[in-house]
Amino acid sequence: MSWTILFLAAFLAGLALAVHSMLLGVERWRRKKSSKPSPVFNPPTAAALGIGFGATGYLVSTRSGLGWPWILLISLAAGVAGMTGMIILMARWALRAPVNQESMDDEAIHGQIAVVTKTITEMDPGEITYSSWGATHTVRARSVDGSPIHAETEVVIETLEDGIARVEPWSVVEQRL
């Protein structure tokens, strides 16, 4: 097998993995016992290694008169440099912890469908239940416009403020769509 074919295959595999990561994200790629993805072992870093190794190896092998050991060494160094850059990018920017967990929770449930489990009245907050990421959550809730909402009604969560969700009946939201 020709070295140029190996370099092109590595480049194309890295490119395909980069597109896959771009379309599907990296949150799925977690170690078994970890709550967050690894900045070192994930598809974007493997893609950077493949792209750096393949592109540099192909260019050096077709454009220079260096021997194969040097070409392999240079392309490996470029691949490792690309992977190192991606590790730094992933660790410092893409996979960093949220600044404020409450704001992240609010963003995560905005627009979420829930079911009223305890009737919401004008005076007293009721209770809603919704499912997210395989877990069921229950929070206190008030109507957006202050109107009562009966139990077993499907609602849409608008905001979450001070542990109380502001909700609107799904039937009202559906009419606007």
CATH (domain of 159):
2.40.50.140
User: In whole angstroms, what is the distance from residue 28 CA to residue 86 CA?
Assistant: 18
Tens-digit pLDDT profile for residues 11-62: 999 999 999 888 877 655 555 666 666 677 788 899 999 999 999 999 999 9
User: In whole angstroms, what is the distance from residue 58 CA to residue 38 CA?
Assistant: 30
Q: Say yes or no: 61 and 131 in one domain.
A: no
Q: Say yes or no: 107 and 131 in one domain.
A: yes
Joined tokens for residue 54:
């393949």
Tens-digit pLDDT profile for residues 66-119: 999 999 999 999 999 999 999 888 877 766 655 554 444 555 677 888 999 999
- Number of C-alpha atoms within 13 angstroms, CB side, residue 157? 29
Q: Which of 94, 112, 146 is the last residue of a domain?
A: 94
Domain with 105 in it: 101-176
Q: Say yes or no: 81 and 35 in one domain.
A: yes
Strands 154-161, 126-132: pairing kind:
unpaired
Closest CA to 143 of 131, 129, 126: 126
Identify the weakest region by mean pLDDT among 93-97, 125-129, 139-143, 170-174.
93-97
Is pTM, for the whole model, over 0.75?
no
Q: Which of 94, 117, 143 is the last residue of a domain?
A: 94
Contacts 24+ apart (CB under 8 A), 125-130: 125/164, 126/151, 128/155, 128/157, 128/165, 128/167, 130/157
Q: Say yes or no: 9 and 86 in one domain.
A: yes
Closest CA to 143 of 130, 129, 157: 157
Number of structural domains (the chain) is 2
Q: Say yes or no: 45 and 76 in one domain.
A: yes
Q: Say yes or no: 89 and 11 in one domain.
A: yes
Q: Which of 42, 62, 94 is the last residue of a domain?
A: 94
Q: What is the pLDDT of residue 104?
A: 46
Q: Say yes or no: 90 and 105 in one domain.
A: no
Q: Say yes or no: 7 and 88 in one domain.
A: yes
User: In whole angstroms, what is the distance from residue 149 CA to residue 167 CA?
Assistant: 9
Q: Name the phi and psi angles at 2, rounded to 5.
A: -75, 145
Q: Say yes or no: 76 and 118 in one domain.
A: no
